[in-house]
Structure 1
Amino acid sequence: STWNDRFFEFATFVFIMDIFKDTLLPSSLYGFVFTASGILFSSVVGKWIDCTARLQAIRTLIPVKRISNVLASLGFLVLFTYFDYEAIPEDAKPLCYTIFGLIVATGGALKLSSVGVSIVVEKDWLVMMAQSNSAVLTRVNSIMRRIELVSKMVTPLMFGFVVAAQSPRFCVLFIGFWSAISMFLELHLIQKVYDCIPCLSEDKELMVGHYLGVPTGDDMSGADEDPSDTLSRNHKHHTSYFKRVYRDWLIYYNHPIFAVSLSYAMIYMSVLSIAGTMVSWLKWKGYSDSHIGGMRSIMTLLAIVGTFLMPLMSRRWGLMKTAQVSLILEWLALIPVICSFFIYQSWFTGVLLIAGISLSRMCVWIFDLSQMQILQENVTNSQTGLIHGWHFTLCNLFDLGQFLLTMIWSDPQLFKIPATISFLMIFLAACTFSR
């Protein structure tokens, strides 16, 4: 599943830039909708999971995820086969944009189904399997994280190999076919895991009444009340809902970890990573798919190194200082990257770009693991959902910001502007953490 996700994630932005060669707007739009879907509907998916049996939930989410991959692949195949964007007739452009709009829509479905699978597997199944054994849970979480990083490192290389050996059209067919086949494989393996772990078949508390508004108890006693009283009660209900949201925000804002959480969220507003819109920009610059895949693999390899360095640094300096130092080092590592946008373009600027970004991502992962443990150790059990919920929302909002930047400055020649703003955001994140 992780392999499939990382392969499709990397390929999507390459395909978009292969089709729309002279603008970053389509890739930014895709990323914007992908992230916005997570902000708007992740909580709905989470509530649905709470109200659904474990096996039923995962059996629903996996097909949605893979069918989204297949539909997007079909859309890309049509665009590659029948449309040459540079020579397309004006009367055919609406159809081209419509097909791309459908690809964007599948991106939203893919995001929500991915969130759902993550919640089911990482937040429920793994916890049940660990049976309250903290050491086991830590080990399993570490293995899951490294699987993801290795997939991020290897899939770009495989993508570059497939494209170099065949063509982008063949790669689209490969992804669509593999997504369809892997759906059945994933469902089979999930069923085997479910059958082998007896505790997964235990009933969980399905909070249908709490989450879906099913009337219970005193609510049922008012079924025959006057309609005007019902309207008044509904108005008070909506008012109290917004009051609760504001109250929860104040709890989050006044919590001691707010500065740590905010600084971490701020680094999401960055295009300075070999992913998303930067992949599209590198394609515009003339880098081959294999070169981009190699850059991403180097970046991910150093990120894995960061996961091993963090425990050593935290034992020596403590969590807070480790997080602070890693954030400052991330900013310093990006100085040569920013310089590469403003000096004469040569092979040396490419070296500055990949070296600076790779080192910065190593620091990002050290900071990521540090802030995660800071939050875990300083948030009480009674506030876990509230604090982490706002933390997740804030991260997605800043992540949305990076796509807004490249939508505003969609000309690839102006990519230096979003890059510079990203650099300043990381500096502000370091200042926020140190306040």
Structure 2
Amino acid sequence: MNAAIRRMDQVINIFAPLSVGQVMTWASNVIGCGFILGWNVISLLVEFIFLSRVYQLVPPLAVKAQQNAEEYVIERQMELTNVPGKYYLGNLNLTVFPEMQRKSVTKLPLCFRKMHRILCTCRDGWKAYYRQSVFLAGLGLAFLYTTVLGFDCITTGYAYTQGISGSLLSILMALSAFSGLMGTILFTKLRKHYGLAVTGVVSSLLHVSCLMLCVFSVFAPGSPFDLGIFSLLTSKNSSLNHETLQKNQLHIYPLQRNINQPILPDRSSIHWTNNTVLLDSVHGGDHPESYISIILLFSGVILARIGLWSFDLTVTQLLQENIPESERGIVNGVQSSMNYLMDLVHFIMVILAPQPQQFGLLVIISLLFVITGHVMYFIYAKKYKIKETVIQTNSERKPQNPSV
């Protein structure tokens, strides 16, 4: 079911950038924004209808679990009583804090009590996440979010500086979605024949192998990679450095012809989309000496989606199968938080290295994060296979009862 839903998502991602990219390229800004607005309003209505239908088909979704209700009653009792002690609910052990400790917390201002509650929730959630057997697999997936090697605003912005038009970029996005669709099919085939652990290993190797093309693009002809930009930005007093910086600015921003003028283009030359700003002036300006670098970059990004989505489905399936139902919501919440935290790191990297000449450094750092995430999964897979072998050996040693 995970693969089927992800497959539907990738099919939509094939047609969405094609339609939006062509509208933004060949129509006006107003028509493009109106098209995106209308599509989102219609999608919102359809989503509300489907969600209400789900709650009608499965009424228990709207009812709190009995265990959660009993836990709430006990927590309320803990707040209202001064008697220290312990309450037991099945395997759940709830300790009533001593009176002095409780009073020390209640004496704090309301904002500090809320902050204390939030910190305790984060601490308890991380503890629940850490003690799971699939902890390393989930953390490895989170590390894959610290990357510029994807079709987000960072990579698309870099593509525009290299002379890629919005229409061509939309086609590349569609190809990327098609590659992700192939990844969901690969996941189902590998899982059926080799199991989840091996599927994740194969997907990891495929993902890293394809991303090596992106590293090759950094040093290929046509790449603007130049670490000397760091010294240029910090040493503007030198006339030679000033002239070199001006030359680089003219290469990056063809619209800019005077280094003392603002580098932002006129409003009429901007196309707005839902995730990036398209500069028409870049399209008609200077082009790189060779397109080998940009071809290798997007070839690696597109092909890597096969292994990426197969690996993503593998870890998702492992989380669903190995986490107890009572802790599934907490662990999934921490996993999502880790994903967004690592995604934030990659935006911080771009803030520290915003120039196109520095993009190659971000590519190399991104690959290191990806490799680190997959190494974490390899460690988990090794432990998983050892555990699986021990269980299988123990089951074979058990005496067989012919009467059973």
Residue number in structure 2 paired with 1:252: 129
Amino acid at match of 2:64: E
1:431 aligned residue: 375
Query: 332, 341, 349: which one pairs with 2:218?
Result: 341
Give the match for residue 168 of structure 1. 29
What is aligned with 1:154?
A: 15
Q: Which moved more, 1:307-316 or 1:201-210?
A: 201-210
Q: Pick one of 389, 407, 418 that aligns with 2:333.
A: 389
Mark the CA change 1:210 to 1:420 in structure 2 (over 3 Å): closer, same or farther.
farther
Return 182-191 or 168-177, whichever deviates more. 182-191
Tell me, in whole angstroms, the C-alpha distance in 1 between the residues paired with 2:191 and 2:74.
Answer: 47
Aligned alpha-carbon RMSD (Å): 3.4
Give the alignment of 1:28-39 within 5 angstroms: none
Distance 1:383 1:340, change over 3 A: same
In structure 2, the residue matched to 1:205 is 64
Q: In structure 1, what is the Cα distance between the partners aligned to 2:101 and 2:315?
A: 48
Map Cα deviations across residues 239-285 of structure 1 (whole Å, 9 max, x no partner).
68745643542342243211111111111101101222101111222
Asked which structure has the greater CA Rg, the reply is: 2
Give the deviation of 1:143 after TM superposition.
4.4
Find the counterpart in structure 1 of residue 309 from structure 2.
365
1:170-319 mapped onto 2 (5 Å cutoff): 170-180=31-41, 183=44, 187=48, 193=53, 197-200=56-59, 204-205=63-64, 216-217=76-77, 219=79, 232-234=104-106, 242=119, 245-319=122-196
Q: CA deviation at 1:234?
A: 2.1
TM-score (norm. length: structure 1): 0.58
**Contact 1:209/1:215 (CA < 8 Å) preserved in 2?**
no
- In the TM superposition, what whole-angstrom CA distance separates every residue of 1:347-385 from its partner, at most 9, and x where no partner exists? 333332222111111100110111111222221223212
- Structure 2 gaps of 5+ residues are 83-99, 223-289, 380-404
CA separation of 1:348 and 1:213: change in aligned 2, threshold 3 A: farther
* Cα distance change on mapping 1:171 and 1:213 into 2, 3 Å: farther
CA displacement 1:207-261 (0-9 Å, x = unmatched)? 9999999994564578xxxxx9975242697768745643542342243211111
Residue 318 of structure 2: which of 374, 380, 403 is its match?
374
Contact 1:268 1:398 in 2 (8 A): yes
SS in 2 for 1:205: coil
- Cα distance change, pair 186–241 in 1 and its aligned pair in 2 (3 A): closer
Change (3 A) 1:281 1:384: same
Instruction: Work out the number of aligned pairs and report it.
Output: 290
Unpaired runs of 5+ in structure 1?
Answer: 1-137, 223-227
Alpha carbons of structure 1 residues 154 and 235: separation in structure 2 relative to 1, 3 Å: farther
| One-letter amino acid of the counterpart of residue 351, structure 1 | I
Q: Which residue identity is paired with 1:311? A: T
- Out of 283-292 and 346-355, give the one that drifted further: 346-355
Task: State yes or no: 1:419 paired with 2:278.
Answer: no
Give the letter aligned to residue 291 of structure 1: L
Partners of 2:148 and 2:155 within 8 A in 1: yes
Question: Residue deviations 1:413-435, cap 9 Å, x none?
Answer: 21112111101111112222223
For residues 294 and 210 of structure 1, do their structure 2 counterparts lie closer, same or farther at Cα, with a shift above 3 Å needed? farther
**Higher helix fraction (1 or 2):** 1
Q: Which amino acid aligns with 1:295?
A: L
Q: 1:406 to 1:230 in 2, by over 3 A?
A: same
Superposed displacement of residue 326, structure 1: 1.0
Identity %: 24
Q: Distance in 2 between matches of 1:254 and 1:372?
A: 17
* Letter in structure 2 aligned against 1:425: F
Q: Is the contact made by 2:221 and 2:291 (CA closer than 8 Å) also made in structure 1?
A: no
Q: Which amino acid letter does the alignment assign opposite residue 306 of structure 1? A: G
- Equivalent pair of 2:18/2:171 in contact (CA under 8 Å): yes
Aligned-partner Cα distance in 2 for 1:366–1:270: 17
Residues 352 and 229 of structure 1, relative CA distance in 2, 3 Å threshold: closer
CA distance in 2 between partners of 1:152 and 1:390 (Å): 27
